[in-house]
Structure 1
Amino acid sequence: MNEFEGKVIVVTGAASGIGEACVHHFIKSGSAVVALDFQKDKVEDMARNLAEKGYKILGFGVNVIYKEQIQNAVEKAVEKFGEIDYWVNAAGISRIVPFLETSEKLWDDTLNINLKGQFLSCQVAIEHMLKNGKGAIVNFSSQSGKKGTNSYAPYCASKAGVIALTQSIAKEFGPNNIRCNDICPGVVHTPMWDKQTADYAKKKGIRPEEVMPNFIQEIPLKRLATVEDVTNLVSFLLSDKSSYMTGQSINLTGGSWMW
């Protein structure tokens, strides 16, 4: 029997990129998936289409900076599927803007979604996992949470905060058999990168079509991460195979960052 069959997994940022990949990975593993995303129509349509194919899934339009929205969606899901076993926090935003051109709004939006959103989601997750007497959470930081880089201050700050948040949760709720780890990816070519390739090209003084080859040149394994690389690691960190791991920030960078 697949370890995830019959389990209930919440995924934030579920309508695109890494979050969407996690949704497909876990429904195919037999899990019931609760998909949360601020793109209400998109996440509800995705869930409806997958449910029509026989998968166990519910989709809710949720902005993760509002705890009440997260709670309401999860309570509806629990009524249908039962209590939450696992939680994946993949919601996030990223903008490349020079430091002195970074507005307070961009700072606030980035910290709210990338850090406050994971904080609130973890609160809701743990409230439910305590009822089960166990659980596992995967947060998403970034290699940029371990190393600062220019024109990326809000993102780097938010992702460094996720690492500390993860460690704090792991320390406090380890005795309750609730584990919390985070993943620090390098470059995963998702729609998020499609939106900021031009900004990165401007930052580096290269053409947009040179951005991805430029990244690959700096990666020892000579390729970008795939969403499958990410979902495989998420699966491992949620599974019993990592039952003695908590509070860890795992690099998934192809060797481009090793600390």
Structure 2
Amino acid sequence: MEERIYKKWKRITSTLFVISIVGTFIIPYLPNEAVLKNSIAMQTSLLSNSLIIFICIVIANKKLHGIYNTFNIGIGKGIEGYTEGLLIGIVMFILVTAGIYFTGNAEVESLNVQSTGLEAVPYILIMFTGWIVQGASEEFLVRGIIMKFLSTKINIFLSVLLSSILFAALHLGNNSIGVFALINLTLFGIVMGLYVIKTNDIWGACGIHTAWNFMQGNIFGFEVSGINVPTGTLIDLNTSGSGFISGGAFGPEAGIICTIVILIVIAVLIYQIFTDKQCLCIFKKT
């Protein structure tokens, strides 16, 4: 059973790796030279994260008693779970953007420093594959291995909190990082952990994470966790006005609007988990 699942994961991660490589080689043949250099750099950076997935799988399968028990996921419902996660991530970030924009704390970029609109679609699609890899790598590492391992030693909700704090700490080297940004990143990690508990599946968390970053960087043109992503965006928005509301230079993840949206999602997930007692049994101490 575990060997069969392990082989499936090898195929899945190999496919993601190949897609990212293909994307990296396609970018130089796209027409817009203004974003060419940035696109290659970003895609290469995201591509390197795919190696984390392979490392996680090897460690999990060899050291933590099998990949199935470690990741606690259902392969068969992967597409359904991932799609649901994508939709949730899209809705979440649309709410964040709407809150920032309609309070007057975001404006459309007047200088065309990157491709926008239909011209940017090829770059956007290629970057989407990179976000798939990046989102999955972080979720497999933090929720798939670290949170799962902690849950075998301590209370499940404490394992969610500690793994989320570690997740936030992974961003300490990012530009313009601050206390509020770290708080929101921790809260986002809690959303991911609770969603894994609710669904007994890591696919959905991967989908949410991918959609969240993709919407920030390549649909609305914001900084992604303090990182500028000038590789093409559908709409190029800049945070303005109050940094407390918009997140300032770090991007929306450091703003109070983001905090409010995430806290609402956390409240909904906690309610759903406690009304479905079976959710609390999926991570058992061993």
Tell me the TM-score normalized by structure 1.
0.28
**Is the helix fraction higher in 1 or 2?**
2
Higher relative contact order (CA 8 A, sep 6+): 2
Higher-Rg structure is 2
Q: Give the TM-score of the pair, scaled to structure 2.
A: 0.26
